[in-house]
C-alpha cells in the first residue's frame, strides 16, 4: 500500500507562472498545478491522478511530475477515509467539463480591481489574498477547481465564494484544513 490515500491533493511545482504569481498572490507558493490522487498501482509503485486539462478531467500518473517536484496534502476536516474514493468519483463525473478559460481570462482584471481598491483604501498595493478575488461556480474547471472537488461532498478546501487560486490551498494548510503528508 502506498503512503498516499485516494482523495489526497497534490500541488506540483516548477511552473513558468511561479515568478509572476509569487509576487501577485499571498501567501506565496511555488505550487501551481493541482490534482487529486485517485488510486495506487502497487506493481508500479505509482499513483493514478485526476487533473483538469484543456481536454477536461484527465487521468494520469503522479510519476509524470517526479522531476518537477510536488507536495501531497490530506484533508483534515473530520472526514472518514472512505470519502477519498467518493471525491474521485465526483470529479470523474465531471470528466467532460471544459477547461475554465473564463477563470483565467478574468483573473488579471480581478487583480487590477483588487489593487485599485487597495490603493484607495490602504494607500498601497500589496499581494492579493484569494478571498479578495471574485469567484462563482460554473461547469468548466481549472486544475485548482478540480482539486477543490471535496466541496461536492461538503468539505470545501477553499471556502465557497473564494477563488481557488494556488495560494488559497496554502491558506487552507495554514488554517488546518489541509495537512502535508510526508
pLDDT tens by residue, 6-51: 999 999 986 666 666 667 999 988 898 999 999 999 999 999 999 9
Report the predicted TM-score, pTM, of the whole model to 2 decimal places: 0.90
Residue 4 lies in a domain: no
Does 76 reside within a domain? yes
Below-50 pLDDT ranges, the chain? none
User: Would you state the pLDDT for residue 81?
Assistant: 62
Q: Which three cell numbers stand for residue 135?
A: 469567484
Task: State residue 77's pLDDT score.
Answer: 73
Residue 182 is predicted with a pLDDT of 78
73 strand-pairing partners: 9, 180
Q: Let me know if residue 1 belongs to a domain.
A: no
Residue 152 lies in a domain: yes
Take residue 24 and report the three cell numbers written for it. Answer: 501577485
User: Strands, E, within the chain: which ranges?
Assistant: 9-13, 25-26, 31-41, 46-53, 56-61, 70-75, 128-129, 178-181
Looking at the structure of the chain, the number of domains it has is 1
Q: Output the pLDDT for position 110.
A: 95
Supply the pLDDT for residue 157. Answer: 92
> 150: domain range?
9-181
What 3-state class would DSSP assign to 129?
strand
Amino acid at each position: 500500500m502506498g503512503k498516499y490515500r485516494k482523495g489526497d491533493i497534490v500541488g506540483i511545482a516548477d511552473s513558468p507562472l511561479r515568478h509572476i504569481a509569487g509576487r501577485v498572490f499571498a501567501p506565496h507558493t511555488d505550487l501551481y498545478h493541482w490534482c487529486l490522487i485517485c488510486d495506487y498501482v502497487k506493481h508500479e509503485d505509482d499513483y493514478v491522478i485526476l487533473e483538469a486539462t484543456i481536454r477536461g478531467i484527465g487521468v494520469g500518473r503522479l510519476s509524470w511530475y517526479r522531476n518537477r517536484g510536488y507536495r501531497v496534502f490530506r484533508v483534515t476536516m473530520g472526514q472518514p477515509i472512505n470519502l477519498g474514493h467518493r471525491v474521485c468519483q465526483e470529479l470523474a463525473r465531471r470528466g467532460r467539463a471544459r477547461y475554465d478559460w473564463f477563470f483565467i481570462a478574468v483573473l488579471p482584471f480581478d487583480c487590477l480591481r483588487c489593487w485599485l481598491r487597495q490603493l484607495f483604501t490602504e494607500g498601497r498595493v500589496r499581494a492579493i489574498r484569494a478571498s479578495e478575488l471574485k469567484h462563482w461556480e460554473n461547469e468548466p474547471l481549472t486544475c485548482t477547481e478540480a482539486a477543490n472537488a471535496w466541496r461536492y461532498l461538503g468539505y470545501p478546501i477553499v471556502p465557497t465564494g473564494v477563488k481557488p487560486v494556488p495560494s488559497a490551498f496554502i491558506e487552507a494548510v495554514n488554517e488546518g484544513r489541509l495537512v502535508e503528508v510526508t
